[in-house]
Amino acid sequence: MRWRFLDSGTLDGAEQMALDAGLMDRARLTGEAVLRVYDWQRPTLSFGRHESVRGRFLPEMLARENVGAVRRPTGGRVLMHHREVTYSVTAPAPSHERLRDSYRRINAILMTAIARLGVHVGEAAAAAARRPGGAACFAEPSEGELVVDGRKLVGSAQLREHGALLQHGSILIDDDQPRIAALAVGALVPAQPAATLHGALGRAPAYTEVRNALAAALAELEEEPAALGAQEAAAFGAPHRERFASAEWTWRR
């Protein structure tokens, strides 16, 4: 399987989610995988696809705080995108491939990249599942997520649909996840303090440093990736932009 690498840089939440959905379409069409790295124009809450958030967060309150809101194509729980680096992998998903196997293959890239930065991470063991809506994403690690001393450093979620997969997640530089509780109307399960690259390294690495580590890890473990052009990616994302920008989708439940 051929891999591509894309740095999408800073865009709004709807555009970033549309690109992830569009690159799933591209994976079905081309049979190629893409490792994408990106950032957010402003602090943004992203909600899991099936998460109930109406009444728990108020659009007008988020607007006053200059916090964006978007609903992901993947499942999972709410998280705050700020002072972090987001990655996504889109790839063909053969019917015979197990979810656990694809997670581990992607985790190998992430772990190698984070080790290049100087941080040792492990995979979390199984924990009791929480219903979406009862907690934030970083309240506790789920099985297979990447942790430092038992605390989640990378929150990830995967969607498999029509022969393609999307896995994306947040690599924390600093911990802004407690802000979610301050923005919520109702109570959330208290989050454990998250692991961060700043805490593990004693300094906050720049976005470009994390991006370069991910690109180098991909080249080491898979193959030397060719760059994917931003215009090609945008063309695949364009049909999905309206859905992710709509309040009907974001606040549908």
Any idea which residues carry the catalytic annotation?
A: 137
| CA dihedral (158, 126, 135, 38) positive or negative | negative
Q: What is the distance between the alpha carbons of residues 253 and 251, in angstroms, rounded to a whole number?
A: 6
Classify residue 83 by burial, with Cβ atoms within 10 Å: 0-12, 13-18, 19+.
middle
Residue 131's identity, in one-letter code, is: R
**Residues pairing with 4 in the sheet:** 34, 226
Q: What is the distance between the alpha carbons of residues 67 and 61, in angstroms, rounded to a whole number?
A: 9
